[in-house]
């Protein structure tokens, strides 16, 4: 994305450098191109990577650091400089500003101070007047059990989002053992999530896009590994860095998590803007939903992200009522998706998204409404202005009504 700050850092102190890296990797408006532990080599790093911003910790050798900033102002004037120091010496700050620094942060760095400084630099760099950068909407789709339809929803939701020209969308298949997002899109990937995770330190935004599989709809896919044993090659830290680069590249990420709720799944769920928890109106699914919601409530900041989605509403007369379901899980229902088994199976078997297979079906229209609700779009269809639980009824096929 064009509004992401590409930056490099230099800090001879390993501890403070790692702390800064961890903070940067959690931010959506930046991409860390490179790091350096020697002042002597940093000018070459900047010359090779051409970043928007260089962060210089001056504490290890103030004289060398100030000289470095002066050299960078001459050799790479397009690179803004932010300095970090645990010193509050006004003379040092003045020297750094005269040498060419644009911002000064006191160590230990606070997240809010770093975020504000980056935002100010971003406004100058990209010329935005609002003072806010466009973030990446990360949507994690999770299920209460296998076969609940989370992969189908994730694939078609991502496809709907990609159908809007202003969006750039990537779908990540995090079911590393049995994921089948590539099958639903009828694609044969050249690279998998393991390839990207193992090489993420060497990737930039352009190389990343070439490592993903592009669907004809414009959707980018990062599929699960080919071999089962390859799933052990990805660590939570690897995945966090992959997400960081993806957030810097796309406006929307849709992540299809596994049903194992592994540490990798929890990285995705914790990183998400919205977590869609899919369940059905039967007792095992609802009990699992309650258990998961209770666990999520214990994770700071996660409760507000979780949105309960009821799938296959109208499957049969034996389903638990919506009122009883809400009482069971103690949570409002965000959206309901109607049961349309025939349409979904045909789309899956053909490897074609619903938007192409059956654009006017009740299920297609409901997922479109969900897409609009999550992206804040009013949509082109009038049903998006209706209640989520009622919007799909007027598209309900005549045969389905009689069942």
* Each residue's pLDDT tens digit, 66-82: 999 999 999 999 999 99
273 Cβ contact list (under 8 Å, min separation 6): 135, 136, 137, 138, 139, 305
What is residue 81's DSSP assignment?
Answer: E
pTM (2 d.p.): 0.72
Residue 74: the pLDDT is 94
| C-alpha dihedral (309, 311, 314, 315), degrees to nearest 10 | -150
* Tokens 């939701």 sit on residue: 157
Cβ 331 vs Cβ 337: under 8 Å: no
Number of Cβ atoms within 10 Å of the Cβ of 151: 25
β-strands 252-256, 333-338 pairing = unpaired
Q: Which of 51, 43, 53, 58 is nearest to 94 (CA)?
A: 58
Cβ 353 vs Cβ 185: under 8 Å: yes
255 Cβ contact list (under 8 Å, min separation 6): 138, 139, 140, 141, 154, 171, 172, 174, 268, 272
Domains, the chain: 5-126 (3.40.50.2300), 137-402 (3.40.50.300)
* Tokens 């660590």 sit on residue: 235
Q: Which of 163, 215, 225, 145 is nearest to 184 (CA)?
A: 215
385 Cβ contact list (under 8 Å, min separation 6): 378
Q: Please state, in angstroms and rounded to a whole number, the distance separating the CA atoms of residues 224 and 231.
A: 8
CA angle, 215 then 223 then 230, to 5°: 155
336 Cβ contact list (under 8 Å, min separation 6): 309, 310, 313, 322, 366, 388, 389, 392
SS3 label, residue 140: strand
Residue 30: the pLDDT is 83
Residue 381: the pLDDT is 39
* Each residue's pLDDT tens digit, 124-146: 876 654 434 457 899 999 999 99
Low-confidence ranges of the chain (pLDDT < 70): 1-3, 28, 126-134, 204, 317, 377-403
What is residue 371's DSSP assignment?
Answer: H
* Tokens 């694609």 sit on residue: 187
Residue 391: the pLDDT is 42
Q: Which of 69, 121, 61, 56 is nearest to 95 (CA)?
A: 69
DSSP string covering 151-204: HHHHHHHHHHHHTSTT--EEEEE--TTT--HHHHTT---S--HHHHHHHGGG--
């Amino acid at each position: 994305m064009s509004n992401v700050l590409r930056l490099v850092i230099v800090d001879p102190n390993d501890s403070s450098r790692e702390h800064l890296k961890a903070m940067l990797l959690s931010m959506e408006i930046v991409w860390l191109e490179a790091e350096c532990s020697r002042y002597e080599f940093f000018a070459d790093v900047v010359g090779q990577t051409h970043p928007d911003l260089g962060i210089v910790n001056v504490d290890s050798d103030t004289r060398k650091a100030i000289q470095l900033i002066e050299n960078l102002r001459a050799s790479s004037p397009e690179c803004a400089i932010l300095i970090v120091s645990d010193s509050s010496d006004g003379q040092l700050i003045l020297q750094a500003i005269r040498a060419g620094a644009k911002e000064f942060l006191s160590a230990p760095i606070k997240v809010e101070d770093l975020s504000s400084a980056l935002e100010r630099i971003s406004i100058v760099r990209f010329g935005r007047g609002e003072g806010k950068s466009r973030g990446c909407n990360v949507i994690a789709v999770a299920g209460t059990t296998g076969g609940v339809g989370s992969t189908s929803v994730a694939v078609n939701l991502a496809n709907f989002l990609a159908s809007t020209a202003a969006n750039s969308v990537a779908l990540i298949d995090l079911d590393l053992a049995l994921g089948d997002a590539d099958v639903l899109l009828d694609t044969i990937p050249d690279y998998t999530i393991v390839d990207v995770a193992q090489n993420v330190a060497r990737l930039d935004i352009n190389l990343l896009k070439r490592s993903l599989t592009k669907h004809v709809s414009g959707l980018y896919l990062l599929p699960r590994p080919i071999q089962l044993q390859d799933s052990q090659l990805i660590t939570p830290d690897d995945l966090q860095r992959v997400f960081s680069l993806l957030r810097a590249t796309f406006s929307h990420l849709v992540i299809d998590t596994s049903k194992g709720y592994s540490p990798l799944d929890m990285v995705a769920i914790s990183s998400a803007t919205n977590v869609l928890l899919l369940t059905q109106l039967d007792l095992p699914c609802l009990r699992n939903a309650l258990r998961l919601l209770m666990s999520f409530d214990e994770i700071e900041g996660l409760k507000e992200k979780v949105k309960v989605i009821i799938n296959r509403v109208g499957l049969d007369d034996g389903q638990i009522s919506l009122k009883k379901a809400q009482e069971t899980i103690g949570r409002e229902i965000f959206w309901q998706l109607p049961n349309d088994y025939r349409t979904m199976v045909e789309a899956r078997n053909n490897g074609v998204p619903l938007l192409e297979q059956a654009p006017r079906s009740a299920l297609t229209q409901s997922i479109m409404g969900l897409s609009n609700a999550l992206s804040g779009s009013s949509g082109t269809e009038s049903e998006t202005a209706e209640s989520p639980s009622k919007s799909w009824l007027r598209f309900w096929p005549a045969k389905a009504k009689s069942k």
